[in-house]
Amino acid sequence: MVKMFDNYRISRTKKFHLFPILSFALIVCIISFSDSLISNLSSSHSVVFVSKTNSQQPLKSTFVHKPLFYKKEEINEISYIFKEEEEEQEQEDDHVNLVAPYNLTEEERISWFRKKLPEFSILKSTRLSSQFNDRVNNFLITRSCSVQFFMTWISPSSSFGKREFFALETLFKAHPKGCLIILSQTLDTPRGVKILRPLIQLGYKVLAVTPELSFLFNNTPVESWFDDLKNGKKDPGEIPLAQNLSNLIRLAVLYKYGGVYLDTDFIILKDFSRLRNSIGAQSIGANGKWTRLNNAVLIFDKEHPLLYKFMEEFAFSFNGNKWGQNGPYLVSRVVEKLMISTNRDEFNFTVLPPIAFYPVDWIRISGFFMKFNSRNQSRWIEAKLLQLSGETYGVHLWNRQSNSMKIEEGSIIGRLISDHCLLCKDIYSF
């Protein structure tokens, strides 16, 4: 849901004569109030598939790193390449335009998509997006990154709220020397800089970058698929195209650079630096074997063959009408096929149990937001917090189900954020 400010209209029925000094004071008050309003927005064991390489070994780094903090001139350097305000608004609207109308036939939807293509700015190559690779490399080369993190944000910047910001706080609390790159056209703006500024001013290494999709998908199995999409030859489906592009971008960016991909609805509890070439199981069966994997966390070296397989499957089986088809179901399908493959040893990765990243299923996530008053329920909360502190790297909040839930004081989520945040502002106010 896009958050929007109400526009206040002031009707004037009478004309008053005001002294100049009173007018000046009124203007100062209004400006101060507006600035204040805007600034306030802002299984206990691993289930191993194939693992010649220990999943606890440090992630490989492809870059040489140097400084620790942003310099003022670097922030200015970022700012000078931003687009004009009207173009920024087009980017905000782009998210809405990426959703096809319902109840259309495939032929009608493709026709609609062809007409709308000029409005989809994320598919275009621009002056800003053309600098993507240089900006990413420069950011990583000039910083000493204990871990390279990537996120995507294709929604409007106005919908990047407190919960998403808490995810960033907990990431840097666990990884003070980590680097985070957010692939986002809407956050790579003056408004996005303002959102991220509290972390930047504290010296944390975070950068929003407009992605160049043609570069990311070049020389990968999805290159032809993307060309067909841009030329209006693919049915985008009824599922928001932004969601499926996010599923694909995370695979491509890890394939090009290596590191950790994270969804923005995670509370991070523990250092990831010893994890390598790992994917998390969302659920397991009675026999202890995983029944579904999830792509909300992916940890892989650069050019890992499993990422290549994921992209092959995306291009081969893309269906924009089935939720999860090109995301969590995709990674589950590929790994399941590899389990019976004769060359599975070549892929060298580990499947971690649900407790690692998905300690609560989306059906039960509401219980993590609630405070319970009975003694038994309170004991359950304490026992769960103790378990999470020992075995869990991060808690997926399943934002699609929980984004309207209030965090109650004393709840599991409330306690986790309180213990792992940096600025810790207004935890219970949304």
Of the chain, the percentage scoring pLDDT greater than 90 comes to 68
- When pLDDT is cut at 50, 70 and 90, the band that residue 429 belongs to is confident
CB 79 within 8 A of CB 190: yes
φ, ψ dihedrals at 231, nearest 5°: -90, 10
Angle at 70 between CA 69 and CA 71, to 5 degrees: 115
pLDDT exceeds cutoff 60 at 304: yes
What value does the mean pLDDT take over residues 109-115? 93
The answer to whether 250 touches 333, Cβ cutoff 8 Å, is no
35 or 307, which is more confident? Answer: 307
Among 6-15, 65-74, 90-99, 419-428, name the one with the lowest average pLDDT: 6-15
Q: What pLDDT score was predicted for residue 91?
A: 52
pLDDT of 19 > 80? The answer is no
| pLDDT above 60 (res 255) | yes
**Model confidence at 94, in pLDDT bands (50, 70, 90)?**
low
Q: Residues of 189-205 as b/e, b for ≥16 C-beta within 10 angstroms?
A: bebbbebbebbbeeebb
Quick one: which of 282, 280, 314 has its CA closest to 297?
280
Q: What is the pLDDT of residue 343?
A: 77
Q: In what order do the strands lie in the sheet with 179-183?
A: 47-50, 349-352, 278-284, 290-300, 259-262, 148-152, 179-183, 205-209
What pLDDT was estimated at residue 226? 97
DSSP 129: G
Range 97-353: architecture per CATH: Alpha-Beta Complex (3.90)
Predicted local confidence at residue 95, as pLDDT: 55
Residue 64 has pLDDT above 70, yes or no: no
What pLDDT is stored for residue 92 in this prediction? 53
> What mean pLDDT value characterizes the chain?
82
DSSP letter string, 294-336:
EEEEEEE-TT-HHHHHHHHHHHHH--TTSTTTTTHHHHHHHHH
Query: Can you give the pLDDT at residue 221?
Result: 98
263 pLDDT above the threshold of 70: yes
More confident residue, 18 or 100: 100
- Please check whether residue 151 is in contact with residue 207, taking contact to mean a CB–CB distance below 8 angstroms: no
Rounded to 10 deg, the angle between the 162-174 and 412-420 helix axes is 50
- As a whole number, mean pLDDT of residues 87-116 equals 76
Question: Residue 232: is its pLDDT beyond 90?
Answer: yes
Q: Which residues pair with 300 in a beta bridge?
A: 259
Find the farthest-apart pair of alpha carbons in the chain and give their distance in angstroms, rounded. 87
In this prediction, residues 240-262 reach a mean pLDDT of 96
Banded pLDDT at 170 (limits 50, 70, 90): very high
Summarize the confidence of residues 299-313 as an average pLDDT.
Answer: 98
CA dihedral 207, 211, 215, 219 (to 10 degrees): 90
Looking at residue 85, its pLDDT comes to: 46
Percentage of residues of the chain with pLDDT beyond 70: 77
pLDDT in the model for residue 118: 87
**Of 300, 307, 304, 328, the residue nearest 396 (C-alpha):** 328
pLDDT tens by residue, 37-56:
333 333 333 444 444 444 44
Q: What is the pLDDT of residue 51?
A: 41
Amino acid of residue 178: G
Alpha-carbon distance 278 to 56, whole Å?
9
